């Protein structure tokens, strides 16, 4: 539709201007405000903000995206988070009595040993690189998907992969009363 008023701006155009201004303000704040060291996110906070989802995250399936975000932010189904926010939950790792932390899962947990090579070697395996660079996040996502680290587990479940090697859920004979959980 043609308008004679030369000052006319469509709602779409106004919305795009607003989005750009918000993005610029967000980037300015991100650049000029130091990250608090108490935050679990500060090591991951190295990539400038964007108002659009980035390609590295759009290409991930929903589960891997979720676990990658949880690992980067520290808000996850792990002992370190539970200690601070849900003290009634079990806080130790299933591999030992060690407090389950991001560092433990990525570098120490025996359960994920065979997948740890996916994180890289040397400096590329550094936590700041894994959480705060494009390539590091890609390696982290591949590790999380393959190892199934950061999946919420029911520590009492007999069908937990980590306890007896079977997939979680129904077993053979489910529905007949035999072997169902």
The pLDDT tens digits of the residues spanning 38-96 come to 666 667 777 777 777 777 778 899 999 999 989 988 889 899 999 999 999 999 998 88
d(CA 75, CA 99): 15
Phi, psi of 154 (to 5 degrees): -90, 110
The pLDDT tens digits of the residues spanning 111-120 come to 999 999 999 9
d(CA 138, CA 118): 10
The pLDDT tens digits of the residues spanning 26-46 come to 888 877 877 665 666 667 777
Domain ranges of the chain: 11-152
pTM above threshold 0.75: no
Helix/strand/coil for 111: helix
From first CA to last CA, the distance across the chain in angstroms is 63
Percent of the residues in the chain that have a pLDDT greater than 70, as a whole number: 76
């Amino acid at each position: 539709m043609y308008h004679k008023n030369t000052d006319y701006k469509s709602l779409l155009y106004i919305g795009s201007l607003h989005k750009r201004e918000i993005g610029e303000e967000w980037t300015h704040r991100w650049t000029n405000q130091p990250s608090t060291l108490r935050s679990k996110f500060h090591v991951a906070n190295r990539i400038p903000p964007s108002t659009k989802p980035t390609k590295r995250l759009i290409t991930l399936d929903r589960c891997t995206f979720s676990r990658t975000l949880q690992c980067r932010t520290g808000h996850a189904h792990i002992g370190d988070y539970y200690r601070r926010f849900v003290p009634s939950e079990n806080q130790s790792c299933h591999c030992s009595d060690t407090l389950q932390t991001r560092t433990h899962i990525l570098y120490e947990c025996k359960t994920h040993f065979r997948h740890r090579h996916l994180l890289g070697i040397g400096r590329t395996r550094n936590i700041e690189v894994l959480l705060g660079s494009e390539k590091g996040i890609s390696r982290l996502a591949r590790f999380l998907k393959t190892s199934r680290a950061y999946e919420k587990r029911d520590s009492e479940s007999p069908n937990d992969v980590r306890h007896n090697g079977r997939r979680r859920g129904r077993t053979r004979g489910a529905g007949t009363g035999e072997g169902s959980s």
